[in-house]
């Protein structure tokens, strides 16, 4: 298992978590939404801190633009998460806002899976990618905990 295999597994988990938010209501919906918010935030931070910099250093031109695009998509997703967090789940636009979030995340994960991951596999060696797994998990844990605390306040 290397860091990219781990990222793929997490994407599958996020897809399931998003469906669970869609099919729940009231307090459960808020709880599941916040879980997804914290985990995706941690995942994005871990990608940006542990994986993207070394890939960026190895690529140029369009490939470099792709990595920059991944970061911009993280901000876009983060923005929509924050809008949802500020909107009451009783508001009749909440579900539509969440659908837009899922569209942004789905697009991002697909691009990461189809374009970024193959690029990262070329840029970094298998042993480098394996060595990054622990740092990814540690970084993610730190940011998930930070976000969970923020969402409770």
Q: Which residues bind Fe ion (CB under 5 A)?
A: 7, 47, 112
- Kindly report the CA angle at 47 between 5 and 36, in degrees rounded to 5? 85
Q: How far is the CB of 36 from Fe ion (least distance, A)?
A: 13
Q: How far is the CB of 2 from Fe ion (least distance, A)?
A: 14
87: phi then psi, degrees, rounded to nearest 5:
-100, 135
Q: How far is the CB of 43 from Fe ion (least distance, A)?
A: 6
| Closest of 151, 148, 134, 114 to residue 46, by C-alpha | 134
Closest CB to Fe ion among 33 and 116?
A: 116
| Closest of 146, 138, 114 to residue 4, by C-alpha | 114
DSSP letter at 113 equals I
Q: How far is the CB of 73 from Fe ion (least distance, A)?
A: 7
Closest CB to Fe ion among 14 and 29?
A: 14
Closest CB to Fe ion among 30 and 117?
A: 117
Closest CB to Fe ion among 30 and 47?
A: 47
| Distance of alpha carbon 11 from alpha carbon 14, whole angstroms | 5
């Amino acid at each position: 298992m290397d860091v990219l295999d781990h990222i793929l597994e997490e994407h599958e988990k996020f897809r399931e978590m998003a469906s669970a938010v869609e099919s729940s209501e009231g307090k459960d919906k808020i709880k599941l939404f916040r879980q997804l918010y914290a985990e995706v935030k941690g995942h994005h931070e871990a990608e940006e801190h542990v994986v993207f910099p070394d890939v960026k250093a190895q690529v140029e031109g369009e490939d470099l633009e792709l990595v920059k695009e991944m970061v911009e998509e993280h901000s876009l997703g983060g923005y929509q998460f924050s809008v949802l967090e500020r909107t009451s789940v009783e508001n009749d636009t909440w579900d539509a806002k969440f659908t837009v979030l899922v569209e942004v995340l789905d697009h991002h994960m697909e691009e990461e899976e189809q374009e970024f991951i193959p690029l990262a596999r070329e840029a970094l060696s298998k042993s480098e990618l394996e060595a990054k797994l622990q740092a990814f998990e540690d970084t993610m844990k730190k940011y998930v905990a930070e976000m969970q605390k923020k969402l409770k306040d």
